[in-house]
């Protein structure tokens, strides 16, 4: 989705763009019409939104409320394995 994402109302086309707390993220008009995007938004709303994010699914818009803390991550992650991988 090159250029179909807006952060703070400005087009972003950098895949590794880091969103800061307080910034709003929304999809462009053409991206909202994509069936895959619609399905993903519906799926994410059904699975729950982390407390550090907000989602307005009908407007295809969300906001980062705060940076996540380790306690906010519910996935089973072994940080030591990540450190070992990147230290090679």
CATH-assigned architecture of domain 5-86: Roll (3.10)
∠ CA 78-79-85, nearest 5°, is 100
| 21-50 confidence digits (pLDDT tens) | 999 999 998 889 999 988 988 888 778 888
Long-range CB pairs of 33-39 (<8 Å, 24+ gap) are 34/1, 37/1
Strands 24-27 and 61-64, by their bridges, are antiparallel
Q: Give the residue ranges of DSSP H helices in the chain.
A: 29-32, 35-47, 79-86
What percent of the chain lies above the pLDDT cut of 70? 98
List the chain domain ranges. Answer: 5-86
d(CA 37, CA 43): 10
């Amino acid at each position: 989705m090159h250029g179909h994402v807006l952060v703070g109302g400005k087009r972003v086309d950098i895949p590794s763009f880091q969103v800061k707390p307080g910034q709003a993220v929304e999809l462009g008009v053409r991206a909202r019409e994509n069936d895959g995007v619609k399905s993903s938004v519906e799926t994410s709303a059904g699975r729950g939104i982390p407390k550090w994010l907000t989602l307005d699914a009908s407007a295809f818009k969300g906001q980062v409320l705060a940076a996540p803390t380790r306690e906010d991550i519910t996935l089973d992650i072994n940080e030591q394995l990540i450190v070992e991988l990147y230290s090679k």
